Structure formats: structure tokens, C-alpha cells
Chain A
Amino acid sequence: MKDWEGATARTASSKAGALFVLILGLLVPGGGHIYLGRRKKAAVLATIIIVTFFLGIYLNGRLYGFEQGQSGSETLINYIGALGGLGNGILYILAKASGFGEGNIEDKTFELGVAFLLSSGLFNILAAADAYRCSVGYDYDAAEEARIAEKEKRKSEKKARAAKRQSAKQVSK
């Protein structure tokens, strides 16, 4: 397998180290990958997450907080939005602390802004999960091969079942 990072990539030495990578990745976009020496991956992911986040702020999106709404459904939406926003880690905390991300619901780009902010949060969660996988020495190629083999096995089983049904039908006729 050709590794993008070459010799700089490494794995965490213990389970606690892998957990540290996960938390670092959640707090800082691309932080987990930088810690593991995967600088190219970190640069790509951090750029996309940060650009998406700032586009969300620019488009007047709202960073939801854990606030009580006027109804139960509004509270639920606030909480789900806050969980998505929290995925941005330090960006969420900094934007909230400096008064950004209040959003203007009357603005026509409000919905787009919210979509961008939530997307960047989810991207960061995905990036942190990948950093954790890299830290425990996850083998991407082996996993893909296993997935393909499983798929082919299911396909052949389905074919065998169909053939069995067909032969049973012919016997009954």
C-alpha cells in the first residue's frame, strides 16, 4: 500500500494515547492527524473544516447553544444543532465567546449558513474519528478487502437461494 505521509506517520503507543488523539482531533481541526505526523491529511481536513465554518458565519448562519426553546420541538432542534456545532471544537467556543454565529433568520442565506456550520462540525467529527483509527493502526486496505469479500459472499448466497427457489418451482410444476 502506498501511504500518503510516508515515514512521518506513526501510531499511538497506548489506548490512552489513542483517546488523547481523538479528543485533540475533536478540539482542534486536524489536530489529531498533526499529532500522528500525518501533516498532509491534517492540512487538507483543517482547511476544509475552517473554510466551511467561516463561510457558515459569513452566510449569517446560527451556532446553536443548549438553550430552552418556547416549545419542546424548538428545544430539541436547539440541542441537536448545539451537538452538531460542538463538533467544531475550539472554533465553536471561540465564535460563541466573541459573539459570532448569532445568525439572522430573516436573511435569505440563513439556512445555508446553518448547513455550512453543521457540516463543518460533522466533518471535524469524521476527521477526529479517522485520527483515532490511524492512531490504533487501522489497516484501510485489509478492511476494504474484507468488505468486498463479504459483499461477494452475500451476492453468491443470494444467487444460490434464487437458484434453489427456481429448482423448487420446477419440481412442483
Chain B
Amino acid sequence: MTHFLCLVYLSLAISIVVSVTATNDPSKMLRRSLRYFCFLVVGSIAAGWIMLLFS
């Protein structure tokens, strides 16, 4: 559970920092951060699941 919460927090933090530093337009920031967040969480879960399959 701790690891999952950390994954969610780090994904959120990465998506916000990257989107805030990539543009000055607030609507673009929001759209980008949501997209990056979904991508990071789904990607991390998929990567973890694949690693579990091969271990």
C-alpha cells in the first residue's frame, strides 16, 4: 500500500512539475498534467505487472 501511494504521489508530482514548467497557459497545464498523470499511473502499473509476469 505504501508503495502504491508513493507511486500515485510521485506520478502526480512529476505530472504537475513537468506540465507547469512546459507552458504558461493554465488550461494547457491542467490538460497536460491530467494526461501525464494517467499515462504515468497506468504505465507504472502495466510495467509492474509485466515484471511480475517475468519474475
* Interfacial residues, chain A to chain B (CB-CB below 8 A): 1-5, 9, 41, 44-45, 48, 51-52, 55, 59, 109, 112, 115-116, 119, 123, 126-127, 129-130, 134, 140-141, 144
CA distance A46 to B12 in the complex (A): 15
**Which residues of chain B are within 8 angstroms of A9 by Cβ–Cβ distance?**
24
Choose one: A41, A52, A144; the contact of B20 (CB below 8 Å).
Answer: A41
Q: Mark B12-55, 1 if CB is under 8 A from A, else 0.
A: 01101110111111110100000000000000000000000000
Count the B residues whose beta carbon is within 8 Å of the partner chain — how many?
Answer: 19
Residues of B contacting A: mostly: helix
Contact A45 B20 (CB under 8 A): yes
Contact A4 B13 (CB under 8 A): no
Contact B13 A119 (CB under 8 A): yes
CA distance A109 to B10 in the complex (A): 14
A51 closest partner in B (C-beta):
B13
Contact B21 A5 (CB under 8 A): no
CA distance A144 to B23 in the complex (A): 9
Choose one: B21, B25, B29; the contact of A1 (CB below 8 Å).
Answer: B25
Contact B22 A127 (CB under 8 A): no
* Contacts known (A55-B9, A109-B2, A112-B3); A123 close to B17, Cβ less than 8 A: yes
Contact A116 B10 (CB under 8 A): yes
Contact B24 A44 (CB under 8 A): no
* Contacts known (A4-B25, A48-B13); A112 close to B20, Cβ less than 8 A: no
Contact B29 A4 (CB under 8 A): yes
Whole-angstrom distance from the CB of A39 to the nearest CB of chain B?
A: 13
Choose one: B14, B21, B23, B29; the contact of A127 (CB below 8 Å).
Answer: B21
Contact A140 B23 (CB under 8 A): yes
CA distance A9 to B24 in the complex (A): 10
**Which residues of chain A are within 8 angstroms of B2 by Cβ–Cβ distance?**
109, 112
**Which residues of chain A are within 8 angstroms of B24 by Cβ–Cβ distance?**
1, 3-5, 9, 41, 134, 140
Contact A45 B23 (CB under 8 A): no
Whole-angstrom distance from the CB of B12 to the nearest CB of chain A?
A: 9
